[in-house]
Structure 1
Amino acid sequence: MLSEIKKPELLIPGGNLETLKTAVIYGADAVYIGGDLYGLRAKAKNFSMEEMKEGIAFAHSYGKKVYVTANITAHNQDLEGIRRYFRELYAFGEDRPDALIISDPGVFSIAREEVPEIDIHISTQANNTNYETYRFWNKLGATRVVSARELSLEELTVLRSKIPAEMEIETFVHGAMCIAYSGRCLLSNYFTGRDANLGACTHSCRWRYHIVEETRPGEYLPIEENERGTYIFNSKDLCMIEYIPELVKAGIDSFKIEGRMKTALYVATVARTYRLAIDEYFEDPVIYEEHKPFYMEEIRKGVNRQFTTGFFFGKPTHEDQIYDHNTYEKAYTYLGTISGEKDGYYELEQKNKFCVGDVVEIIKPDGSTIETNVKRILDDQGNDMESCPHPLQIIYVDFGTKLDKFDIIRRREE
């Protein structure tokens, strides 16, 4: 009976304070974030210590959790800084992180010494592919392990049966896939000197490659797996929203969404759609099955690279790659998030240009969507504007309908 099964946690990425708040409002049970150092998304905006404390306090005020990444492959020179970092996080008091996400055994040891009261989750970077690995980390005091992306549902089901009941399994169910085993990639460092294992990945797996023959420098020969192109490392994005029952039956405790470098529109889209799918499945599996086409329609309104089920149903084939381009499919453009109201006009920070008269959509945390027209745009001095061409400008807009804080504005692209 579903009523006897614990509903899995929905874990959403927060690349900055805006997306953390968006994740919380749009349905996340927990958010994972990174500071300026020691996480594996150095190109994300990330959080200062002040922003991190504010973000955690915000999430806690809604009864949600926040996990902080410290999952770099640490070198000697990193260790003392990591020790100080953990002490600073602990000093947040009631608004300290609910867990630290760690991959390195040395960093794990420091966390156990400095902040034993904070739970430790073992990052997917630690190559967690079998139940003995889970048992190993459980004996050392970890409360959760993030499974390697290379595991099938069958393997996860066996793993669940072989580990203590209180040991939690966290699994990526949506977002970008990595070409390297458990994300431990050397391409970026080799080509650019930016180490993916220290958080500075340049996504070199998305680049186009050719062969150069030794005696013919400058003559580029295409690498053709077939006639469609040469993006040989370019995986489709993971999407498991049509397989919630299978994920639940495998015993996964936390459904993790990838995307700490994505916009608030992406975060809101995936959070509210997965929230709806999970809740409807636990309410009535028949409703969930009937609504699968709607879930997919909604999830495609975010930014993605076509979808795959990754390793869940067996090893990926050539059909799980994209060979002719490396760009995202973009159905909608993010225009801004409502931050306040003044004299009937709604305040937002402009993310992309739009004009008076444009047809836009308002997406709301409850899953509803409103289509409306932009009636009028004012700058922060009250002057009329026919369009708002300046990114990050604070503007005030009449959308001809009542809106609420955290509503997100998007425009459909042809």
Structure 2
Amino acid sequence: MSRPIELLSPAGNMDKLKMAIRYGADAVYCAGQAFGLRAGSANFNNEELKEAVEFVHAHGKKIYVTCNIIPHNEDLVGLEEYLQYLESIHVDAIIVADLGIFLLAKRVAPGLELHVSTQANTTNYLTTEFWKEQGATRVVVAREVSIKDIKTMRESADIEIEAFIHGAMCISYSGRCLLSNYFTTTRDANRGQCAQACRWKYSLVESNRPGEYYPIEEDQHGTYIFNSKDLCLLKHIPELYEAGVDSLKIEGRMKSVHYVATVTKVYREAIDTYLKEGKEWYVRDEWMEELEKISHRPYTEGFSVEKPDETAQNYGKSSNTQTHDFIGLVEGYNAEEGFAYMEQRNNFKVGDEVEFCQPHGALVHHVITKMTDENGEEITVAPHPQMKVRLYIDTPLETYSMMRRKCKNQ
């Protein structure tokens, strides 16, 4: 395989951004304090955005900033200056859904590359051609299109195609949702404040037929009829590559560091293995095992091959599941004395069976037999958040490895 394909990871804050790069992302996408669709994420102020650009570029990677709200007039205040600032710090592109923002960026910050957000609902080749003519360099296709349709769209116009391959799915058309607007007084989903009302528990009844409920199966948890499963297209990497997709995108700016790093590593290994093996490639069991360890809903292939049926929804509950907890971060390894410098992320103790997910190396299993505090005093438990610990282990560990432990209910 000769054509490169980009792995694009989410970055809700600086910590997640750096871990995404360290765990194999070719590019990251993030948002500033305004104009992005994830107001619930920490996001980046202007100085942090500058620092993020410098870090990413120092590693030879790319960074895209989302400006993908559907704005009302009052939302445009300060936008011109913000776009010019993004141009001045040399972000690699901005992701835009609204035609007005698109046109303003072309006028006031012509050096910015323009990527068309999935919020713009690009579902056909004519729209792809339109965005190419307007000056966009990339289109993020709607999640409602199949891989077959993506191939047609890619062939119709000389423009990059980005497609989601993993993460949360929206019940509405590529995120164009009004549930949050109606059920809350201030949270506009299309201006970055979605309350995820689709994850709530519902019963449906027609007003003229009181007591006659929507005929679906219901258990003791309730009925979550709008609650989509999470997208996972790991096994479709070959088809996406052959369809001409230029960038494979992971959803998750509001997810944890553990999620971002783990999913990025899995897809990095899967992509690199495919580019090496070609037709001999297959999905490794350990990749799917890793994707079960992070917080997620059950997986679906969405619209990738065919229109999803009723099995694409998660009717039983809205909460996520995971098999492992992230409990510590490796900050270095002392080879002479055989211990890892750890930062505590969750309570752990002597006797715990743990594993280390490394940025590049293999998974390492270990039973904790000895650890000390940062002063060298032996301890049996690390109970304090971000506590510095020396954990004795013979196997050298890469810096930024994540220490994990099976969840208690596993």
Task: Please report the TM-score for the alignment, with normalisation by the length of structure 1.
Answer: 0.90
The amino acid of 1:261's aligned partner reads M
Number of equivalenced pairs: 402
Other-structure match for 1:330? 322
* Partner SS state of residue 329, structure 1: coil
Q: Secondary structure at the match of 2:293?
A: coil
Bigger shift: 368-377 or 340-349? 340-349
**In the alignment, is residue 46 of structure 1 matched against residue 40 of structure 2?**
no
Looking at structure 1, the residues matched to 174 and 404 of structure 2 have their Cα atoms a distance apart, in angstroms, of 34
- What are the superposed Cα offsets for residues 29-84 of structure 1, whole Å, 9 maximum, x if unpaired? 11111112111111111112222222221111111100011101112122231112
* Residue 26 (str. 1) matches residue 19 (str. 2): no
Q: Which amino acid aligns with 2:14?
A: L
Aligned to 2:63: 66
- Distance in 2, matches of 1:227 and 1:67, equals 42
Q: Kindly provide the amino acid, as one letter, of the partner of residue 294 in structure 1.
A: E
CA RMSD of aligned residues (A): 2.3
CA pair 227-286 structure 1, distance change in 2 beyond 3 A? same
The alpha carbon displacement at 1:148 in A equals 0.4
SS across alignment from 1:284: helix
- Give the conservation status (yes or no) of the 8 Å contact 2:339–2:393: no
Q: Secondary structure at the match of 1:97?
A: coil
Inter-CA distance 302–220: structure 2 relative to 1 (3 Å threshold): farther
1:266 CA displacement:
1.1
Residue aligned with 2:347, SS: coil
Cα 1:146–1:213 shift into 2, 3 Å: closer
Kindly tell me: are residues 48 and 385 of structure 1, through their superposed partners in 2, closer, same or farther at Cα, counting changes over 3 Å? farther
Asked if the contact 2:340/2:393 (under 8 Å) is kept, the reply is no
CA contact (8 A) 1:224 1:230 kept: no
2:350 matched to which residue of 1?
356
What secondary structure does 2:71 align onto?
A: coil
Q: Which amino acid aligns with 2:117?
A: S
Matched, 1:105 2:109: no
2:113–2:136 Cα contact (<8 Å) kept: yes
Once the two structures are superposed, what CA deviation does each residue of 1:232-282 show, in whole Å capped at 9, x if it has no partner? 011111111111111111111110010111112111211111111111111
Establish whether residue 225 from structure 1 lines up as the match of residue 225 from structure 2.
no
After TM superposition, give the deviation of residue 108 of structure 1 in Å. Answer: 1.0
Q: Closer, same or farther in 2 for the Cα pair 1:213/1:379, shift >3 Å? A: farther
Q: Percent identity?
A: 46
Matched, 1:412 2:403: no
Asked if the contact 2:233/2:301 (under 8 Å) is kept, the reply is yes
Residue identity opposite 1:58 in structure 2? F
Q: Residue 284 of structure 2: which of 279, 288, 292 is its match?
A: 292
Q: Write out aligned runs for 1:114-193 (5 A).
A: 114-164=108-158, 167-193=159-185
1:174 counterpart letter in structure 2: H
Larger mean Cα displacement after TM superposition, 66-75 or 369-378: 369-378
Partner of 1:79: 76
Q: By how many angstroms is 1:293 displaced?
A: 2.9
Matched, 1:339 2:339: no
Q: Structure 1: which 5+ runs fail to align?
A: none
Q: Is the CA contact 2:341–2:391 (under 8 Å) kept in the aligned structure 1?
A: no
Question: Alpha carbons of 1:273 and 1:196: their partners in 2 closer, same or farther (altered >3 Å)?
Answer: same
Structure 1 residue 387 displacement after superposition: 2.9
| Gapped regions of structure 2 (runs ≥ 5) | none
Structure 1: which amino acid aligns with 2:403? I
TM-score between the two structures when normalised by the length of structure 2? 0.91
Alpha-carbon distance in 2 for matches of 1:45, 1:397: 30
**Contact in 1 for aligned 2:35/2:69 (Cα 8 Å):** yes
| Alpha-carbon shift at residue 110 of structure 1 (Å) | 1.8
Partner of 2:229: 236
Distance 1:399 1:42, change over 3 A: farther
CA drift of 1:114 comes to 2.2
Is the CA contact (8 Å cut-off) linking 1:377 and 1:395 kept in structure 2?
Answer: no
